[in-house]
Amino acid sequence: MDFSLTEEQVAMREMAKSFAEKKIAPTMEEDEKEHRFRREIVKEMAKLGFFGCIAPEKYGGNETGYLAASVMTEEIARISPSWGLPFNLQMNSIQSVLLNFGTEEQRERWIPKLINADLLGCFAITEANTGSDVASMKSTAVETEGGFVLNGTKMWISGVPVADLGIVYMYTDKAAKHRGMSAFIVDMHAPGVTQKSIDSKLGLFCAPTGEIIFEDVKAPKDCLVGQKGDGFKICMSMLDNTRLSSASRAVGVARACLEHSVRYANEREQFGQPIPISK
């Protein structure tokens, strides 16, 4: 079995490597120190087609696939794990949900804007007392004649407070437990939505993280993705794709650690001579 990359995938990897070294690396240390998010960097990544890998051409995608996205994510994260995160927020989360479960109208409306980074995305699952136990969330979406009314709080959400659009998971039927969870695509600037920054992190300072508060947010009926009760299934499917991107970032960080360690070992002197290196 041949595991080598195609010429196109190699070219995309090299493009991402060059972008990271030229556009991210020069200001990375200062930006991390100042907790500075640069929307223009996401926009430049979008112009190069970074977020179009999984979408068909009719939505503005390039159909190069998850492997191409993963090798680009790795190269970006090798320079800055913070800037590897937009692959998840713009593509692996929201786009994968819309492509697999959304309506054609939802795909046409939202996917091109995510690919072009006209809108910045996020996905909201975690709550203050709800981490890996997704089914224990408390947020609710009550159906009304005109749509849904959303209430609840999401915590530790990547992309907040700069997000424009989010896939949000809430209960439409709490009594049904995980089978009563539903998925919604939500305008993060709608009345009743409040985004707050969380700065108490150990790293990834160029990647915003925050809290979302939903207070009687009126969402139209077409914000529901899939059917009521499909939320848990949709969430688990989405997480398969976001974990792929997260793993790619981890590989990029590991490569950077190895490269820095080798460089240090080759420069290090002890007792007046270079330290011995096993061959």
**In 60-161, where do the E strands start and end?**
121-124, 140-143, 147-158
Domain assignment present for residue 269? The answer is no
pLDDT for the residue numbered 36: 95
pTM of the shown model:
0.92
| Counted domains in the chain | 1
Looking at residue 114, the DSSP 8-state letter turns out to be: H
Domain assignment present for residue 274? The answer is no
pLDDT for the residue numbered 277: 62
For 70-73, which contacts have Cβ atoms below 8 Å and span 24 or more sequence positions? 70/244, 70/245, 70/247, 70/248, 71/5, 71/9, 71/12, 71/13, 71/16, 71/248, 72/12, 72/13, 72/15, 72/16, 73/16, 73/245, 73/248, 73/249, 73/252
Q: How many C-beta atoms lie closer than 10 Å to residue 33's C-beta?
A: 10
Domain assignment present for residue 268? The answer is no
Domain assignment present for residue 266? The answer is no
pLDDT for the residue numbered 15: 98
Q: What is the pLDDT of residues 178-232, one digit of tens each?
A: 999 999 999 999 999 999 999 889 999 999 999 999 999 999 999 999 999 999 9
Average pLDDT, the chain: 95
Domain assignment present for residue 265? The answer is no
Q: How confident is the model at residue 111 (pLDDT cuts 50, 70, 90)?
A: very high
Q: How many C-beta atoms lie closer than 10 Å to residue 99's C-beta?
A: 17
Looking at residue 132, the DSSP 8-state letter turns out to be: S
Q: Write b or e for each residue in 206-230: b if 16 or more Cβ atoms lie within 10 A of its Cβ, otherwise e.
A: bbbbbbbebeebebeeebbbbebbb
Which residue range(s) make up the domain with 184?
7-258
Write the DSSP string, 3-48. Answer: -PPPHHHHHHHHHHHHHIIIIIHHHHHHHHHHT---HHHHHHHHHT
Tokens of 19: 């972008």
Domain assignment present for residue 196? The answer is yes
**In the chain, where do the E strands start and end?**
121-124, 140-143, 147-158, 165-171, 181-187, 193-197, 209-220, 224-225, 269-270, 273-274
pLDDT for the residue numbered 2: 76
Q: Looking at residues 231-242, what average pLDDT do you find? A: 97
Domain assignment present for residue 77? The answer is yes
pLDDT for the residue numbered 266: 86
Residue 46 CA to residue 44 CA, distance in Å, equals 5
Q: 63: domain CATH number?
A: 2.40.110.10
Are the C-beta atoms of residues 96 and 58 closer than 8 Å to each other? no
Greatest alpha-carbon pair distance for the chain in Å reads: 80
Q: Is the pLDDT of residue 279 over 60?
A: no
pLDDT for the residue numbered 267: 85
Length, in residues, of the chain = 279
Domain assignment present for residue 279? The answer is no
